[in-house]
Amino acid sequence: MKKTSLLLVALFLQVGYTAQAQQEPVNLDIVNKIKKEGLENSKVMETAFYLTDVNGSRLSGSTGLARANNWTKKQLTEWGLKNARLEEWGEFGKGWEFEKSYVAITAPYYQHLIATPKAWTPGTNGLQKGEAMLVTVEKEEDLAKYKGQLKGKIVLVSNPREATTTFEADAKRYAEEDLAKIAEPPVAAPAGQNNNANSRREQYLAMMQLRTKVSDMLKAEGAAAVLSSRGGLHGTHYTSNGAPYAVDAPVALPELEMGTEDYNRLVRLLKAGQKVELELETKTKFLDSDLKGYNVLAEIPGTDRKLKDEVVLIGGHIDSWHASTGATDNAAGVAVMMEAMRILQATGIKPKRTIRIALWGAEEQGLHGSRGYVKKNLGDPATMKLTKAHEKFSAYYNLDNGTGKIRGIYTQGNEQVAPTFEAWLAPFHEMGAKTVTLKNTGGTDHLSFDAVGLPGFQFIQDEIDYDTRTHHTNQDSYDRLQADDLKQASVIVASFIYHTAMRDKKLPRKPLPAPKPAL
DSSP-derived pairing of the beta strands 456-461 and 406-410:
antiparallel
Domain span at residue 260 reads: 96-165+212-287
Please tell me whether residues 100 and 67 are part of one structural domain: no
Q: What is the largest CA-CA distance in the chain?
A: 78
Give the mean pLDDT per block of 10 residues along the chain (519 residues): 42 47 87 98 98 98 98 98 98 97 98 97 97 94 94 95 90 96 85 71 88 92 97 94 94 96 97 97 97 98 98 98 98 98 97 98 98 98 98 98 97 97 98 96 95 98 96 98 98 98 97 89
Q: Rounded distance, CA 377 to CA 388, Å?
A: 9
CATH number at residue 149: 3.50.30.30
Please tell me whether residues 365 and 413 are part of one structural domain: yes
510 within a domain of the structure (yes/no): no
Nearest to 81 by CA among 277, 358, 276: 358
Please tell me whether residues 66 and 123 are part of one structural domain: no
150 within a domain of the structure (yes/no): yes
Please tell me whether residues 61 and 106 are part of one structural domain: no
Q: Domain count for the chain, please give it.
A: 2
515 within a domain of the structure (yes/no): no
Q: Rounded distance, CA 344 to CA 498, Å?
A: 8
Per-residue pLDDT at 371? 98
203 within a domain of the structure (yes/no): no
Nearest to 184 by CA among 18, 6, 12: 6
Per-residue pLDDT at 20? 52
- C-alpha pair distances (Å), 97 with each of 45, 116, 478: 26, 11, 20
Please tell me whether residues 81 and 111 are part of one structural domain: no
Do residues 280 and 126 lie in contact, with contact meaning Cβ atoms separated by under 8 Å? no
Q: What are the phi and psi torsion angles at 194 (to 5°)?
A: -60, -40
Please tell me whether residues 265 and 298 are part of one structural domain: no
Per-residue pLDDT at 251? 92
CATH number at residue 323: 3.40.630.10
4 within a domain of the structure (yes/no): no
Please tell me whether residues 274 and 415 are part of one structural domain: no
Please identify, among 265, 287, 309, the residue that sits at the C-terminal boundary of a domain.
287
Per-residue pLDDT at 201? 84
Please tell me whether residues 75 and 113 are part of one structural domain: no
Please tell me whether residues 132 and 257 are part of one structural domain: yes
Please tell me whether residues 119 and 216 are part of one structural domain: yes
301-337 core/surface letters (b: 16 or more CB in 10 A; e: else): ebeeeebbebbbbbbbbbbbbbbbbbbbbbbbbbbbb
Distant-in-sequence, close-in-space partners of 161: CB < 8 Å, separation ≥ 6: 229, 231, 260, 264
